[in-house]
Structure 1
Amino acid sequence: MTRPGRPAGPTTDTETLVLTAALQLLLAEGAAALTAQRLHQVTGASRSTIYRHWPTPGAVLAALIDVAPMPPAAPTGDLAQDLHAAVDQLCDRLRDRPVGAFLQALVVAAASDPSAVRLRHRYVSDLLAPFHTVLRAAGVAATDREDAVAAIVSPLLLDALLLDRPAARTRAHRIVDTTAGRLFP
């Protein structure tokens, strides 16, 4: 039995249109541009549709994060090889415009919007998930896992976010080798 009334969510076309425009606005103008009025101006989608499904800029950011994750590859059992693959994936994602710039925009938004802090943490957690998956599959204890991920990923994020340069893939691979050797001497 169908129920009368509005559908539960936007149509796929509307969602794609609005979120694509939102990403472009975010990259060009920052998170403050993610208002229903501005999205309406850019997309032509009705303000009521935008307000109903994405009532705040934070809701738009959350929707963008929902469509962003890449599932981690299944670990092969070779710790170093799997960590090298995770490094390559992260370096590629940080190099590609939307991911690196999106992360920078989340950092800026979090400076003035406490709700964006939670979204930034969620987004970064998605970026770190492949490393955690590999280390968990290798039986690395949680504390050692956190330290290993921080050692490997921190320089990459420093390059991409603060130094505005490509992530140093070669250095990250050296850190992977050192970390893997420390975890499994």
Structure 2
Amino acid sequence: MTLPGRPAGPSSETEAVVLTAALELLLNEGVASLSAQRLHAATGVSRSTIYRHWPTPRDVLAALIRVAPHRPTSPGEEAGPDLHAEVDALCDRLRDKPVDGFLHAIVAGAAWDATLADLRRQYVEDLMTPFRTALARTGLTDTMLEDAVSAIVSPLLLDALLLDRPAARERAHRTVDTILDGLR
């Protein structure tokens, strides 16, 4: 039996229209542009629909993270080649507008809205997950694994976010090699 009333979520078409516009606004104007009024103006979707499904900019960001494509990984037999491939992929993503722009916007947004800090953390954790997956096969303890992931990824994020320079791919590859040499 179906109950009368509004559906639980937006139609896939409405969601696609709103979230596509939201990403464009976010990349060009920042988190503050994700208001229902601004999304309505950009999409023509009614403000009530936007308020119902994405009442705050935080909700819009959470939806964008939820629908963000995750790069498929196909683990090999050895961690080394996988880690090097992940370094290259992350450096490319940090250079390209969707990831780079989204990361800059969510970091800036979290600076003025503390409720965005968990989303920033979630987004960065998603970027780090492939490194954890590759390193998990090496037998590192949890603490050592987290230290190794941080040693590889943190300088890349520092370059991209704070120093406004390309992520140092070669340095990250040397870090991977140093970590793996320490395991042998």
**What do residues 16-58 of structure 1 show as CA deviations (whole Å, max 9, x unaligned)?**
1101111111111110111001100010000011001001000
Matches within 5 A, 1:63-82: 63-71=63-71, 73-82=73-82
Shift of 1:93: 1.1
Q: Which amino acid aligns with 2:82?
A: D
Distance 2:69 2:135 in 1: 19
1:162-184: per-residue Cα shift (whole Å, max 9, x none)? 111221212211111111111x1
State the distance in 2 between where 1:50 and 1:139 align: 47
**C-alpha distance in 1, partners of 2:84/2:14?**
38
Q: Which residue pairs with 1:162 in the alignment? A: 162
Gaps (5+ residues) in structure 1?
A: none
**Equivalent position amino acid for 2:38 in 1:** R
Shift of 1:69: 4.6
Deviations 1:85-113 (A, max 9, x none): 11111111111101011101111111111
Q: What's 2:61 paired with?
A: 61
Structure 2: gaps (5+ residues): none
CA–CA distance in structure 1, aligned partners of residues 163 and 144 of structure 2: 27
Secondary structure in structure 2 of the residue aligned to 1:147: helix
Give structure 1 regions of 4+ aligned residues with deviation exceeding 3 angstroms.
none
Determine the C-alpha separation between the residues in 2 that align with 1:148 and 1:171.
Answer: 14
| More divergent stretch after superposition (11-20 vs 67-76) | 67-76
Is residue 129 from structure 1 mapped to residue 129 from structure 2 by the alignment?
A: yes
Other structure's SS at 2:126 match: helix
1:21 paired with 2:21, answer yes
Matches within 5 A, 1:10-159: 10-71=10-71, 73-159=73-159
Name the count of aligned residue pairs.
184
Give yes or no for contact 1:69–1:126 (8 Å, CA) kept in 2: no
1:181 and 2:178 correspond: no
RMSD of aligned C-alpha atoms?
A: 1.2
C-alpha distance in 1 between matches for 2:140 and 2:73? 18
Query: How much does 1:70 deviate?
Result: 1.1
Paired AA for residue 91 in structure 1: C
Q: CA deviation at 1:2?
A: 2.4
The amino acid that maps onto 1:77 is: E
Supply the distance in 2 between the matched residues of 1:87 and 1:127 (Cα, whole angstroms): 11
* Alpha-carbon distance between aligned partners in 1 of 2:57 and 2:95, rounded to the nearest angstrom: 25
The CA deviation at 1:138 is: 2.5
* Cα 1:146–1:72 shift into 2, 3 Å: farther
